[in-house]
Amino acid sequence: MGLVEIGVGLLPAGGGTKEMCLRAVEQAAQVDIDVTPFIFKYFQQIGMAKVAMGAAELYDMGYMRQADSITMNPERLIADAKAKVLGMAPTFRPKRAAENIPAPGRSIAASIKSQLWNMQAGGFVTEYEMEVGGLIADVICGGDVPAGTPISEDYLLQLEREAFLKLCGNKKTAQRIQHMLKTGKPLRN
């Protein structure tokens, strides 16, 4: 499992990038430190399309929470999932979208973008990968706002949608998707 959309010129949508921002802010608040190392960690995982080599690794990657469980036996997947849902059902209440989230902010996004520029200048990423990475940085940092600006989960999701649609309309993304469909391998354009 991983957030591998960058391989086809997209960012993790459907809440993927938004969720990494929320988890970074939450983790920083839990230990009362700056959010930057958490944002960098999640950005790197997305930007490098890092995948877990095993289910247990997903906890360290921040893709699973401590309350999430792993079923190793494929014959038990449905039964275990059903038991978990039935156990949660009596007290389940849908979670409200988070509000008043302190945005990581444009300064962290600028730091990520400067690193991307250096990587592009060194030949480690293409110009288009730098562009996609810049959009991911903008979303995961909460947009073009100062650090600490209160934002909402819905706002982050809207940023993610806009960036996703912008990339969907890009010719280089279409080339990457076509290449992946034909060859099963990513295109570095």
Q: pTM score, two decimals?
A: 0.92
Burial class (CB in 10 A: 0-12, 13-18, 19+), 163: buried
Extents of the domains making up the chain: 5-68+95-183
Kindly report, residue by residue over 43-78, the tens digit of the pLDDT. Answer: 999 999 999 999 999 999 999 998 899 999 999 999
Q: Is 45 within 8 Å of 4 (Cβ atoms)?
A: no
Mean pLDDT, range 175-181, rounded to an integer: 97
Rounded to the nearest 5°, which phi and psi values hold at 102? -70, 115
List C-alpha distances in Å: 2 to 62, 131, 151, 185.
Answer: 10, 21, 26, 16
What token pair was written down for 130? 């730098």
In this predicted structure, the answer to whether residue 34 has a pLDDT above a threshold of 90 is: yes
Q: Which tens digit of pLDDT belongs to each residue from 123-172?
A: 999 999 999 999 999 999 999 999 999 999 999 999 999 999 999 999 99
